[in-house]
Amino acid sequence: MTDDTDTEVVVSLQEALRSELKDPMGTVYTEADALFAAADPPLIAVGDIVTYHLIEADHRPDVALIDGQTKRSAIEDHIQEAIDAGVFDREVDVENAAAGLSAGLLSALATAIDAASDGESTVIVVDGEEDLATLPAIAAAPSGASVVYGQPDEGMVLVECDEAIKTRVTDLFERMDGDDERLWDLLDG
């Protein structure tokens, strides 16, 4: 059962900022093995297709965020089955609106990243959209961690979580509509 405060949108992306998210925030890979070789733990995957490719290459992410869609269409059954095959230690369901970040998603992400430090993997199943989840994943990940997300028609983007990328994400959050102070409170757990 979801609490109304969990579905509340904490910050949302206005149209003027969308262009800043078009370019990859890291290196683009087309092979999961090459990406995994370059990644440092914990590995956080945002998106069904990225998660699927990592699992198929025997590189389960420590944290994965999925929404059952790719390019606004339902994912194929075999992709869903591969992700559902008991690969993760725990599953958390959250709601999240398009172009926004809900309190529930932010809290679940912070908890999942914390659990990853204890060796527990989590898949966060989003009812709605997980597209913006890359940003709080970068912000909440420990320095040196890896966040991977899909770049449509190009491949998988590997983001190394260093101070420069964290500063860029912080700047984006400060310019979004909503309550960025609450966002940080939720990500800090």
67 is in an annotated binding site: yes
Q: What are phi and psi of 87, to 5 degrees?
A: -70, -35
- On the CB side of 30, CA atoms within 13 Å amount to 2
6 is in an annotated binding site: no
40 is in an annotated binding site: no
Task: Look up tokens 């269409």; give the residue.
Answer: 73
Beta strands in the chain (DSSP E): 9-12, 27-29, 43-46, 63-66, 69-70, 73-74, 90-96, 100-102, 122-128, 146-151, 155-160, 177-178
4 is in an annotated binding site: no
130 is in an annotated binding site: yes
Q: Are 27 and 157 in contact (CB under 8 A)?
A: yes
Which residues are documented as binding site?
Answer: 48-50, 67, 130, 153
Which residues are documented as binding site for GTP?
Answer: 48-50, 67, 130, 153
